Structure 1
Amino acid sequence: MAEMTAKRLADVAEGVIRPLNQTELKSATSLVKDLIRQEPDLADMLSGDGPLRSFILAAFTLSPYLREIATVRPALLVEALSGPLEPLLAAAVVEARAAWQAEEGTAVPSEGEVMARLRRAKRKVAFVTALADLARIFTARDTTAWLTAIADASVAAAIDHLLLTGHETGKLTLKNPEQPAEGSGLIVLGMGKHGARELNYSSDIDLVIFYDPEAGILRDPDDAMETYGRMMRRLVRILQERTADGYVFRTDLRLRPDPGSTPLAVPVEAALIYYEGRGQNWERAAFIKARPVAGDIKAGESFLRELTPFVFRKYLDYAAIADIHSIKRQIHVHKGHGAIAVKGHNVKLGRGGIREIEFFAQTQQLIAGGRMPDLRLRPTEQALTALAEARWIDAATAEELIDCYWFLRDVEHRIQMVHDEQTHVLPETEAELKRIAFMLGFIDTTAFSTTLETVLKTVERRYARLFEKEEGLSSATGNLVFTGQKDDPDTLKTLKSLGFERPEDISRVIRTWHYGRYRATQSVEARERLTVMTPDLLKAFGESRRADEALLRFDNFLAGLPAGIQLFSLLGNNPALLDLMVNIMAAAPRLAEIIAQRPHVFDGMLDPSLLVELPTRDYLGKRLSNFLTSARHYEDILDRLRIFAAEQRFLIGIRLLTGAIGGAQAGRAFTDLADLVVEAALAAVIAEMEAAHGRLPGGRVALAGMGKLGSFELTAGSDVDLILLYEHDEDASESDGVKPLDTLRYYTRLTQRLIAALSAPTAEGVLYEVDMRLRPSGNKGPVATRLRAFAKYQREEAWTWEHMALSRARLICGDESLMDEARTIIADVLSTPGDMARIAADVSEMRALIEQEKPPRDLWDLKLIPGGLVDIEFIAQYLALLAPARGLALSTSGLSTADSLRALADLIDANDRDICLDALRLYTDLSQLIRLCIDGPFDPAAVPAGLIDRVVRAAECPDLKTVEAELKRHAKAVRKVFSRVLAVR
């Protein structure tokens, strides 16, 4: 890249690639004609039947992604064909690097403008390098270098933009706003292929971010975690959010220290302490390729120098060698590491793949790099060459592996070039495999397969030879004998090594299982299946924190299980399911109790898409509809609703527990589930009422969801706040059924039936506890409310707190026309300006009264603590009532508290709003998790260690003490906002 030549696509050789088939060729020919009409400059370039035209047509048949770019941006094709490639790419890289800067005579670009500039530059580089690569004008070395260059430029520009934004908003004080990263102490390391300048065509980029609080750019060092955390979330958004211009790079920040329990940006000192005391084998290997790519480059280089003793150990001792082999054992069990094949083979993770070549070099770099600094090289090819020069491997091995490496990288690029997908797996079908073969210049799939198999077997042979003396290391975990009355001494050692602190107790428990003392282990078959899975079970539990406690909870679960064969079969054949079971037992007693009482909820955990597919309303609705299809009568419908709700609540909880969704997503999913179930129950109740009592002339019913149901914020254990509204013809006196009822009794009984349908306990449990105290008459009057009475009450009699509650109301099901009328009434009531001085006084008084009558238990009572959820909800509800007085036509009905605060942004200081939103996010994540895992209050001294781990992870903090400090900080800040907002009026 440093020495640019005049490589041009116009110089493409004849026949480097061939079209996929005649059908695709006709389509590509038509497209080229369209492009020439749009861009006349292409006419001369692509006229006739020369090599360039043939190449472009073939490329468009082979890569739908390139064809799409040319269709959307034909000018890019003109640029690619018009002149030398390197200057064009270099200019795109420069454009990306300067994306944060103002162009002459213009203002500093907005975040949206920065994102657009980066995406345009990335698209240009991706398009041009792909064409040059397919044309064999670029080698894989060139392609990876240019892709890395645009990644470096993009990340650096995004970081500079964020630093400058922080400076302009007063969060930071930069030393030189013209060079924002200079002396900032913000370290951005590119890891893996990014660090080694070896990026794939459709790579994600792995970044690790550290900051030095002593660098002096933070206005308030106490805000470091919040400031940099927010900055990194914006960084990910800038780089990977898909817009009309595409995306820049998918961005992964999970290579940071202990990613489950640390913030997105980690203080330098904390990182060094972590690596020195807790650094993992894989982290040592990862840091071989680490490279400062953005931010304060000098600080990054200094950090890596300090980390050198961790990565490259001083002495080549047996402990170090054992450490290296432990990485090998991790690699051996890695997903995708199957037998050599062609169709469906993973060229990165599969046997003989890219990962084995990288690992071949890295293991020896780790072993010898401490004594031989010349081996500390990032790129794989350079590392292999250096190992040969140091006589650590022979020259023939190095040359062979280098050739194999770049061939496999070529294959990988072709796989990704098809649809711009981050995949490393070859197609399963002959037709799609032919596409890859042709892109590589092979005459057919047979020739390609022969070459690929030779390469894979070569790599596998070299890789296996490196460790051929150590195959025994990855075998058994050790003795696990549970026969007889006495403990086997070697078994106790094995249990200790697996992570159990009280091996004697664990041994005794497992002997209990094998002796068939529980119903679940009474059959011979059940005990045999349990015996087979015991090693995996112990290994999985041993890896959890407080392994003894988690396994004893599993023992309690087994003790109450009516039968065990099905469960043991499921766990034995599904390692992922076993991991989930361990997570539940280690962190979530409430979920453990659910599966003990209702083992059928496990069925849903077998769905391979469980942790990938989000539980949207559409997703849940389709499943509920299918589940109710064969229900024939009222009781059957209600039982099926209970079964469905229990299973889906459990599965939403599993997603939350494993981190597949966050607190806000869980709240929406629990609410969508409640909406669907309540709607189905109402329909069933109405059908029953009509069968017994007939219909009322003009009779209509609608349900309003209030509280957390109205604002999409239900938790796993929430009840539902409902108001049943009805209306009928003026002259209607009674229903027309066999057993007629007058209007009041009709709707009263319908409401009572609905409450019973939802909350009456049956063999399948309870759907939801129902609270109807928010209706106009409270607990004193009828349970059903006529719409006109509801309207009159809200307009003439309702108290301030009732209007606050109304701001969260949401019509969830029933007659559409009645729902529309109710929405109009609610909107009309909430849009009527009120006496804001009185309302402010009422809100303050209500909050004080709650604090007096229901004081918080402790800091973890997130709802009631001063500055907790109630404060934030009251702020949002007060602002909703303030909007009409300020002449704003804003509605928060049916919005979450967070969305309400955003909608009411004009009524609250932006910083105050962000304080509330940040606190709400933390409270929501924690409260959703806690309510999922336990019943009752959160007592850190009494709850499972696994739950504490997940609470710490959800808060993105290193430990519980820091979480509590964060809660205090947020609560204090929110309480100040509450006082400011209410006092200003």
Structure 2
Amino acid sequence: MNFLLEKLKCSLNPEWLNLVRAVEERQEEFPNPRRALLFIEKLSNRLNCQFSDYLHGDFGFHLLLLFSYSQFLGEFLINHVELIEELRSIYRETFLPSDFRIEISTQDRRKFIDSLRVYKNLQIARVVLRDILHLAPFLELVRDTTLIHDACIKAAYDFAYRNLVKKYGKPSSNFIVVDMGKAGGFELNYSSDVDVIYVYGSRYGETEGGTYGKLQNHDFFTLLSREITELLSERTKEGICFVVDTRLRPNGSMGPLTNDIEALEQYYTAVARPWERIALLKARPSAGDIGGVGLEFLELANLFVYRKYIDLSLIEEVLRIKEMIRAKVSKKGGKIDLKLGKGGIREIEFIVQAFQVIYGGKYPQIRSKNTVVALKKLLNWGFLNRREYEELLNSYIFLRRAEHMLQVTNFRQTQTFHPESEEAEELSKKLGFKSRDEFLRELSSVMKRVNYYFNRFFPTKELKPLSSYTVEELERFGFKEPEEIKRFIDALFDSKSLSVEKKRKLDVLGTKLLKLIYEAPVSKTAIKNLLLFLETEEGQVFFFSVLSHENLLKLLIYLLSTKDFFLKRFRKSPEVLEHIFSPELIESPVNESSMEEFFKELQNLQLLKNTFEIVSLLRKRLGRTRIEEFFSELTSICDFCLKRRYEKLKPKFAVSSLGKCGSREMNVGSDLDLLFISKEKVEDETERAVDFVKSLEELGYEVDTRLRPFGEKGELVFTLSYLEKYLKETARTWERLAFTRFRFLVGDGRERAERIVREFLFKKPFNREVLNEILSMRERLEREFPSSTLKYAPGGVVDLEFVSYIYQLYSKKWLRHTLESLKALSQEEERFSKGEDLYRLIRQAETEKRLFSEITSLGDKINELRKEIRSFYREFVNWMTLKV
């Protein structure tokens, strides 16, 4: 360099020498001062030693910096010195998206191609200069880089389309260029291939005809796609505009260069692989009919990318792709790969994209094609905490800046360098580090941090074989009954039902399966029922088909941890496995219309009942419903089955319900308290009622008809007049409580029946005598069922049900539903506002007890809850005593 300095000092005039001295005196600011000096010499020669005005002042120094950073841009500006003045006029300006456009002023193909490259290189010089002078933030730099490429694509499309229309006439459909990858997210590198997909509206139709005749739409758009690609990628004396990569299209390089919407829909529905969902996440129409075909394409892409349910199966695809990349990178010797290496840019992109594809269907608020914007959304919606967000964001920007500065020298698409090379030395200076070692330490720290987060979000550690776990290891794992768990593990591998290959698959699953069993509500029940499940052919086929789908496996283990809820229904209807994990069923409320559609297709009421009861439990498990909505869905299933049996039998009596069915609060295993009421006396309906009860019991319901007038001694089928007379003359206070839950289900006489019951409930006064009698009934239940801690004992469900009964009779509000009564009470008297939450918690505990034979969520806190409920009950009784 000293020799070059001396040479220039001897050969250049004073004005040029000022530039040379600037480099000499401020060498620490130049990543490659020798390159800057060489370009001073080249520029001087190109200008015939004439010193241009634009080289005075700050811009002259800034131009030298640009020369020092980039050999490519230096050569470009030397070849086009007429553009340096234009660069000076624009490099400090912040551009709007509308500022990036190319006017086509020539019909000559060669001139057009060259003009694209000149435009692109000049604009990139502006962006790079703004970068090295810190005049723009990272997001603006990558946005502008993308907009430069978009402008070139739009110009190439317009030029190619115009020429083809002259030859063949206008096609009957429209066309778009879809940016993929970083271009789709407005985050292109300085030197990057541009991934595109070419799409048109419909293959059906042809062009209007031109000087060359007519073409079918597909042939026209294939020519258009090929011409756009060549206009951008062809090498000329100005180089290339950029490489266009079309391999992300359906079937890659083996597929058609362009596809219509119908073909894409067929491909994405039936053929596309999981990685293509990740690729389409960033798809963005950038040229052509963006408002028409573009919107149609985006709608299709979003349906493919985002699922309505949380789709954890994609994690394995991310790990598979990462493993392929790891194998590829390992062949690069001692080089550092900023993009694909361990802890590189791709790992951050995988984290962001996986979160979006897995959860973006359910939470559209986290969707974004831009990585930086997506990170912020993941923070705002709770998927990342503040520290994770800041460390991933800072790491991403650091790595992207390093990638840019590596590429800017020769504008090659590279992300690798050797740590001992001069390239690494220059890169460290471009990034503002005092030494190469300082830069490499920081880079190592950043990449370790990124890899730590990647491994945390996508664990890749070796799994321990299931059969090798000892009782001691199971105890350390956290199991409460490790001996029992070990016994069932051994039983799995001793099973005669499982082939050697299937036992091997179970063994390989190892820690992964054990973790799911540990996380189940009752681990011992889960593994015991898994053993029973795998003794069936249907169970084996399903289980081994979902081994790679952790989300399905987790839900299956949850179902198996229920004492008999799942296995009982599975044994009756093994076909439930074809339906219960359907996203459409899980994401849709269980109601009459969804069941009607299911029944219309399959005509199997037993399968419907078992399927929808399991689906209702899964919906609750996945947080789609609260406890009261779970009860309501179970009741809706019961109503649907009851009405179908009624329609088949065609009795002359109507059916009404009391109890939990009447209040629409049916739980797992709830009885059906039914009443059979006819408008007039009908002979031989008793036998038909018995048949009706049997038909419901065949479905798995326990039917109780003892709440009819005079109980078991009374007539099974009775008239409305008989009911009216009984309720007026004979019914006791406890029956007033029971009839607060009366609900007419099916048949004739609804209006009269409801009027009779309403008069029974509210015509007689509600006074202190009635209240005392009800309170005595509550005390008697406590004495008679002292061991029923969740239902009849003090602080059980019945405390809150009695509050509901009393409040309805007092307020004359026929609400039927316990929770609705507690809501109405809290609105009247604010101090009772906690009643709703108490009711939800105790019913949740009751549900867990019925499902798992133990309370899994509250644990020891159940006693505190019962004390709160009893205190609530007493406070209500005191309030009511004063009221009446």
TM-score, normalisation: structure 1: 0.44
Select the structure of larger CA radius of gyration: 2
TM-score, normalisation: structure 2: 0.49
RCO higher in structure (CA 8 A, sep ≥6): 1
